[in-house]
Amino acid sequence: MEITKIELFGYRNYEMCEIEFDSKLNVICGENAQGKTNLLEAVYYCVVGKSFRASREKEVINLNKNLAKIKVYIKKDIGNSTVEIIFSRTQKKTIKINGIPIKKISELLGEFNGVFFSPDELKLIKESPEDRRRFMDVDISQTSKQYFYLLTRYNQILQNRNKQLKSNLPLENLKDVIKIWNEQLAECAQKIAKFRQNFVLMLAPHAKKAHAFLSDGKEELDIEYIGIKETEKKDIVMALEKNFEKDLSLGYTTYGPHRDDIKVSINGVDVRTYGSQGQQRTAALSLKLAELYILEEATKTKPVLLLDDVLSELDDNRKKRLLQFCKSTQTLITCTKFNYAIDCKIIQIKDGNILKNS
């Protein structure tokens, strides 16, 4: 899968612009605040149907316009397609595939695959387990609708159970109610844990390979799923029962996949606690590159790699190796200065316009 062209109209600081992309490495170059991230944001909008940074949809419409439009042209193994998104100040946005409006975001997923990485993704390594659970959930959901439904259901049951724990029901009645929720919770928990376990097992060798490549063989990355130990439904129910007193005193459920995590270590040492900045960045990047492989395997087509501002964060050796990797898959990478002797298309952006498209 490849993006061959994008047209932008009234999108952020782009009034009207058309950019053609090469099938390999595309370097989007420009000074600060010229529209490099905006361009990647627009491309990724067509992948997932939402922005990675705008909290409000209308925020992307150019301040002097009432309408914004993104249109991407996609080349696939079989046939080509277009994805178009139209934003208006007065109505909800419209998404069209090949000119035909879609009704639900889920119809868009899979039309144009891409993986996005920005320095913000460092959260994946540095911050709370919640970020790593989200990473698992987003990825697994992309390839399994069943998982998405399971997760929604699990969260509903969990909320209900927590609500009961805080209620003033007499203990005996409460125990009966909780028993019903335990059964249902355990059923979903077992399946979710299995999905996540498999996902991390699948991701691990790719992440290890990517990290070894980026660090020139100096570092070994390991990732491990840290989740519930019980694999049978009856054992999960027992674990929930065992924790009942504790849950009751705290007023929430302390056991289950909503507490899962992924442990990331380099050369046997936990990266979150002991890793250097560069190591943490490389590890986050390796997880994303592994994600690219997994998506490729699941969809049988190479996704587009979108990298925002990653070069400034890495040492020369890692930069060169990353760029070498980028040549193997279509990549759009942003930077303020580019001086590497590497075959690529340079797209120079100034104030929402292209200066050079060579």
Ligand X SMILES: Nc1ncnc2c1ncn2[C@@H]1O[C@H](COP(=O)(O)OP(=O)(O)OP(=O)(O)O)[C@@H](O)[C@H]1O
- Using the minimum distance from each CB to ligand X, give the nearer residue, 160 or 348: 348
Tokens 């498999």 -> residue: 198
Whether residue 82 contacts residue 71, with contact meaning beta carbons closer than 8 Å, is answered with: yes
Q: Is 308 exposed, middle or buried (0-12, 13-18, 19+ CB in 10 A)?
A: buried
The span from the CA of 317 to the CA of 272, in Å, is 23
Q: By the criterion CB under 5 A, which residues form the site for Mg ion?
A: 37
The span from the CA of 68 to the CA of 62, in Å, is 7
The span from the CA of 267 to the CA of 271, in Å, is 9
Does 16 interact with ligand X (rule: CB under 6 A)? no
- Using the minimum distance from each CB to ligand X, give the nearer residue, 51 or 324: 51
Does 35 interact with ligand X (rule: CB under 6 A)? yes
- Alpha carbons within 13 angstroms on the beta-carbon side of residue 92 total 8
Does 118 interact with ligand X (rule: CB under 6 A)? no
| Smallest distance from ligand X to CB 287, Å | 22
- Using the minimum distance from each CB to Mg ion, give the nearer residue, 34 or 253: 34
CA nearest 135: which of 146, 49, 127? 127
Number of H helices, E strands in the chain: 11, 15
| Smallest distance from ligand X to CB 337, Å | 11
The span from the CA of 51 to the CA of 187, in Å, is 34
Tokens of 162: 């927590």
Does 62 interact with ligand X (rule: CB under 6 A)? yes
What is the identity of the amino acid at 253?
T
Question: Contacting ligand X (CB under 6 A), which of 17, 30, 117, 257?
Answer: 30
| Smallest distance from Mg ion to CB 308, Å | 6
Instruction: For residue 7, count other CB atoms closer than 10 A to its CB.
Output: 18
**Residue 63: contacted member of ligand X, Mg ion, none (CB under 5 to 8 Å, by partner type):** ligand X
Q: Which contiguous run of DSSP H or E holds residue 10? A: strand 2-11
What is the identity of the amino acid at 281?
R
- Using the minimum distance from each CB to ligand X, give the nearer residue, 7 or 219: 7
Contact segment (CB under 6 A) with ligand X among 31-39, 75-83, 86-94, 212-220 equals 31-39
The count of residues interacting with ligand X (CB under 6 A) is: 17
- Using the minimum distance from each CB to ligand X, give the nearer residue, 66 or 155: 66
**Residue 32: contacted member of ligand X, Mg ion, none (CB under 5 to 8 Å, by partner type):** ligand X
- Using the minimum distance from each CB to ligand X, give the nearer residue, 31 or 315: 31
- Using the minimum distance from each CB to ligand X, give the nearer residue, 63 or 100: 63
The span from the CA of 4 to the CA of 17, in Å, is 14
| Smallest distance from ligand X to CB 205, Å | 33
**Helix or strand or coil: residue 102?**
coil
Answer positive or negative: Cα dihedral of 107, 108, 113, 115: negative
Whether residue 33 contacts residue 336, with contact meaning beta carbons closer than 8 Å, is answered with: no
Question: Contacting ligand X (CB under 6 A), which of 33, 105, 180, 201?
Answer: 33
Does 69 interact with ligand X (rule: CB under 6 A)? no
**Residue 196: contacted member of ligand X, Mg ion, none (CB under 5 to 8 Å, by partner type):** none
**Residue 257: contacted member of Mg ion, ligand X, none (CB under 5 to 8 Å, by partner type):** none
| Smallest distance from ligand X to CB 312, Å | 9
Question: Contacting ligand X (CB under 6 A), which of 55, 56, 63, 217?
Answer: 63
Does 38 interact with ligand X (rule: CB under 6 A)? yes
**Residue 288: contacted member of Mg ion, ligand X, none (CB under 5 to 8 Å, by partner type):** none
**Helix or strand or coil: residue 138?**
helix
Site residues (CB under 6 A) for ligand X? Answer: 12-13, 30, 32-38, 59-63, 309, 336
